[in-house]
A and B are shown apart, each in its own frame.
Chain A
Amino acid sequence: NAGVTQTPKFQVLKTGQSMTLQCAQDMNHNSMYWYRQDPGMGLRLIYYSASEGTTDKGEVPNGYNVSRLNKREFSLRLESAAPSQTSVYFCASDIRANTGELFFGEGSRLTVL
């Protein structure tokens, strides 16, 4: 039982490049989330998917897109990376939107030069 798995763990991009962060969970959870973590700013929600087939914007969605590919997988795409998107990204899931424990992946450290 792997829990929440996200890839890649580290990535360096140049300004303007695109990339996709992948996330998968094997806990049969309905809801999935993408957060970014920056020093002194806590965890800020980028996008979430309350259930398969739905996605919604969080606090900081600009510059990102998401796809809920199926119940297990939720990907985050940066179409044209900017230095302001340098951050640690966490994928998370829970059984149903914020009714209990949020399970996080190990994080992906992204640097945009």
Chain B
Amino acid sequence: GENVEQHPSTLSVQEGDSAVIKCTYSDSASNYFPWYKQELGKRPQLIIDIRSNVGEKKDQRIAVTLNKTAKHFSLHITETQPEDSAVYFCAASMGRGNKLVFGAGTILRVKS
């Protein structure tokens, strides 16, 4: 079936440490992989995305890596800050209509 698995479900780090969230997807034809951040009580917002023709993309403290052969991609946040505390969702485009299928989410807590 069409699914995206995301790990871990919760992650606690000390301020200044790095955080890594991993996702695997089922459809080898998937070609678009965004990451969304959702703060408590707010709407999800795009923080970074990557397409299948690229292996890595960086934006300041955030980076995403993609391994198409293994069908997994990861979000890396360096020098974490308290404002990074939120729920993070990965997603992959798949199936008819190139729909986005989301992972279950990771609750990231950055302790100061």
Interface check A34, CB cutoff 8 A: no
Q: Is the CB of B98 within 8 A of A42?
A: no
Contacting pair B104 A45 (CB below 8 A)? no
Which chain A positions have C-beta within 8 A of B103?
Answer: 42
Which of the candidate stretches B39-47, B55-63, B69-77, B78-86 sits at the interface with the other chain?
Answer: B39-47
- Shortest Cβ gap from A53 to chain B (Å): 15
Question: Given the complex, which residues of A lie within 8 Å of B11, measured CB to CB?
Answer: none
The interface residues of chain B lying within 8 Å CB-to-CB of A41 are 104
Say whether B44 contacts A99, CB under 8 Å: no
B25 at the binding interface (Cβ < 8 Å): no
When each residue 66-102 of chain A gets 1 if its CB lies under 8 Å from chain B and 0 otherwise, what string results? 0000000000000000000000001000000111111
Closest-CB distance, B85 to chain A (whole angstroms): 17
Q: How large is the interface on B (under 10, 10 to 19, 20 to 34, 35 or more residues)?
A: 20 to 34
The answer for the CA separation of A53 and B99 in the assembled complex, in Å, is: 18
Number of A interface residues in the complex (CB < 8 A): 23
A65 to B92, CA, bound (A): 25
Tell me whether B102 and A43 are in contact (CB under 8 A).
Answer: yes
| Minimal beta-carbon separation of A34 from chain B (angstroms) | 12
Q: Which residues of A contact B99 (CB under 8 A)?
A: 45, 48, 58, 97-98
**Is B45 touching A104 in the complex (CB atoms < 8 A)?**
yes
Contact of A90 among B2, B44, B91, B96 (CB under 8 A): B44
| 7 closest residue pairs by CB, A with B | A104-B43, A42-B102, A43-B102, A42-B104, A101-B46, A98-B98, A98-B93
> Which residues of A are in contact with B by a Cβ distance under 8 Å?
35, 40-45, 48, 50, 56, 58-59, 90, 97-102, 104-107
